[in-house]
Amino acid sequence: MTAPILLWLRRDLRLADQAALRAAAGEGPVIPVYILDDETPKHRRMGGASRWWLHHSLASLDADLRARSSRLILRRGNSADVLARLMEETGALRIHALHHYEPWWRNAERAVARAHDLVLHHGNYLLPPGTLTTGNGAPYKIYTPFMRALMRHMPPAPPLPAPNAISAPAHWPESDRLEDWALLPTRPNWAAGFAEEWTPGEAGARQRLCDFSPHAARYDTTRNLPSEEGSSRLSPHLHFGEISPALVWHGIQDNGAGAQIFLSELIWRDYAQNIILAFPDYGRVNGRSAFDAFPWRDHEGEAAADLATWKAGRTGYPIVDAGMRQLWATGWMHNRVRMIAASFLIKHLLIDWRVGEQWFWDTLVDADYAQNAVNWQWVAGSGVDANMFVRIMAPLTQSEKFDAADYIRQWVPELAHLGTAVIHDPDASGVRPTAYPPKIIDHRTARERALAAHAHTKG
């Protein structure tokens, strides 16, 4: 019997357009392995919402593998150590995997490669991160020139189908039981509403793409309207690698100008990975060192109550509160509202962007180290490519401009009876119900305080 090959899976939980799987299957019997590794990422271990998604994604992947005479082996521990034990137990010839670019995964890949024959493949991004550089060979820091450079290489190669069958080893190694990993919340089950919103797994990802494709032509308009279903909602599927970006690109590209705006969002995803490749600590270190002097309020002291109010969706700003409640109920937030909610925490409450980034890391089903860090630093103005801090979003204006009335009615039921003319700012119209809190801070006061704080970064 040919020696088996280990397929090391991480955020690439699919069978179609999976270069590592194809390469492994071409060499002999394949042992697909997923390792729940909370040791290698240390403080970047997956958050609660991501664990909910992971449980269901792994169950779906195992079912897909069993339909092809294979199965998923589950182990827990340090990735390099677990893979070493599996190599010894199974007599495996080598390990195939897709490249990952989070700093902890790059460290793990180096550790595995020092001891074993590790073959890494590309396939989680449109182009391998690090491929594109400026004229002087430096990594791109600014998105627009990065996008233009990447577009010269598009479209990506057509995606390859999943194999019909996968050769099994003579003997399977022991596997953990998924249920024993306790990835799902129970006491309390705060994810009760997630299943109504999401179907994790490769089939769910393809269905999302199919559902979104006919609407992609209007994406340039609808993506900013929280009350409409304009978002693709593919982000968690892409994050967990249940669908390849190449498959998404080819499924969307022929849907007009609006679709091109959506494809630029896929490119932003690549851009974020290139940023963390160049700046591995981007999730905790300001891209612009001037922000190291910013006088953030103490989120564990004077600002602790404000932070709790923001998390609970009780700020008195309906659009912010709707977003924070949607996040808690579904593990996801509309993209326009994410910017508004993040800006509110940073600029109205003067709470460090890293605090918000950590909250999103724990509560988003699509929590992605690169995109989370790049997006929060963009809003804060601290990033290498960022919005100017002095451009302070006015939540009430944003709410009305982007027609968020029905979105607010859905997620802030205390205000559901209010008319569209007053629902964005019930305080100002004198119609705020007693069950809904007053504004935590006046917008003008918050703006002046934020500008005064920002002056400390100019020294």
Sequence ranges of the domains in the chain: 1-123, 125-156+201-278, 289-458
Q: What pLDDT, on the 0 to 100 scale, is given for residue 177?
A: 98
Residue 38 DSSP code: S
Tell the residue number behind the tokens 């809190």, with chain if given: 437
Q: Where are the alpha helices (DSSP H) in 15-132?
A: 19-25, 48-66, 79-90, 103-115
CATH of segment(s) 289-458: 1.10.579.10
How would you classify the pairing of strands 95-98 and 118-121?
Answer: parallel
> CA dist 96 to 112, 116, 138, 140, Å?
11, 11, 30, 29
Could you list the active site residues? Answer: 265, 268, 296, 335, 353, 376
Domain pair 125-156+201-278 / 289-458, same fold:
no
- In whole angstroms, give the CA distance from residue 201 to residue 132: 31
CATH of segment(s) 125-156+201-278: 1.25.40.80
**CB of 49 closer than 8 Å to CB of 192:** no
Q: What pLDDT, on the 0 to 100 scale, is given for residue 393?
A: 93
Residue 73 DSSP code: E
Q: What pLDDT, on the 0 to 100 scale, is given for residue 343?
A: 98
**CB of 291 closer than 8 Å to CB of 457:** yes
Amino acid letter for position 180: D
| Cα–Cα nearest to 169, from 96, 91, 258 | 91
- In whole angstroms, give the CA distance from residue 6 to residue 150: 32
pLDDT of the chain, 459 residues: tens digit per residue: 689 999 999 999 999 999 999 999 999 999 999 999 999 999 999 999 999 999 999 999 999 999 999 999 999 999 999 999 999 999 999 999 999 999 999 999 999 999 999 999 999 999 999 999 999 999 999 999 999 999 999 999 999 999 988 999 999 999 999 999 999 999 899 999 999 999 999 999 999 999 999 999 999 989 999 999 899 999 999 999 999 999 999 999 887 777 999 999 999 999 999 999 999 999 999 999 999 999 999 999 999 999 999 999 999 999 999 999 999 999 999 999 999 999 999 999 999 999 999 999 999 999 999 999 999 999 999 999 999 999 999 999 999 999 999 999 999 999 999 999 999 999 999 999 999 999 999 999 999 999 999 998 874
Q: Is the peptide bond before 438 cis (omega within 30 degrees of 0)?
A: no
Q: Is the peptide bond before 200 cis (omega within 30 degrees of 0)?
A: no
CATH of segment(s) 1-123: 3.40.50.620
- In whole angstroms, give the CA distance from residue 390 to residue 285: 20
Q: What pLDDT, on the 0 to 100 scale, is given for residue 25?
A: 96
What pTM was computed for the model? 0.97
